[in-house]
Amino acid sequence: MERLWCVLAGYLFGSFLTADLIVFCRTGARRAEGFGNPGMANVASRLGAGSGLLVLAGDILKTAAACVLCRLWLFPGMGRMAVLYAGLGAVLGHCWPVWNGFRGGKGVAVAGAASILFSPPVGIASYLLGAAAVLATGYLAVGSAVIAVSLPLLTALFGLGREATAAAGVIGGVMLLRHSGNFARMRAGTEGRASVASRLKAYLKRKSFH
């Protein structure tokens, strides 16, 4: 029952969409009116890097708040598994907020914050692999897919237990599901590439000739 309460607490925190707040404050528009996916990358592409960073910071903070609440105050006896279940709930809330007709984001930043709080080596390694995949391909969705697969695999490799591996697998599965549209567009050749990855690759290429 404690696990369920952690998931529910995480869901409540996760369902607060930081991107919606930033978009509203900057433009007065509601995301439901066509602004797009409530994530850092989309907001940064529309409103600039500063707005994107605010979204990222908000998503990290709401995830951390849920994880700390469950780990330190509500269910300290669960140890860091309270962090993982709260993080799972935050991912679910971010992706499918009930107040917004279950239309939310894709959960990449939220999953990253939760995984790093649960196990810094697993979280950091997964997201470094994801970043490398984005740089190699230019597709944010490919990086998300690498992260989604890496989370449960690294959780198992680091010997964190079957339960933790299963929960990390659910988080990864949610990320893959939320990016299904991106994968379909990649197959159709209509998915845009990440401009940040392109610029960084070009910069590194220039440096290699000096």
CA 16 to chain centre: 14
CA 99 to chain centroid:
20
Arithmetic mean of pLDDT over the chain:
88
Query: Please, what is the Cα angle at 150 between 41 and 138, to 5 degrees?
Result: 40
Closest CA to 143 of 177, 186, 190, 108: 108
Residue 127 reports pLDDT greater than 80: yes
Read off the amino acid at residue 191: E
Q: Express each pLDDT in 58-109 by its tens digit.
A: 999 999 999 999 999 999 999 999 999 999 999 999 999 998 888 899 999 9
Q: How far apart are CA 156 and CA 120, in angstroms?
A: 14
- Reading the block at residue 2, the tokens are 């404690």
pTM across the whole model: 0.89
Angle at 124 between CA 193 and CA 15, to 5 degrees: 70
Cα 59 to its chain centre, rounded Å, is 8
Please list the alpha-helical segments (H only) found in 69-158.
81-95, 108-118, 120-137, 140-157
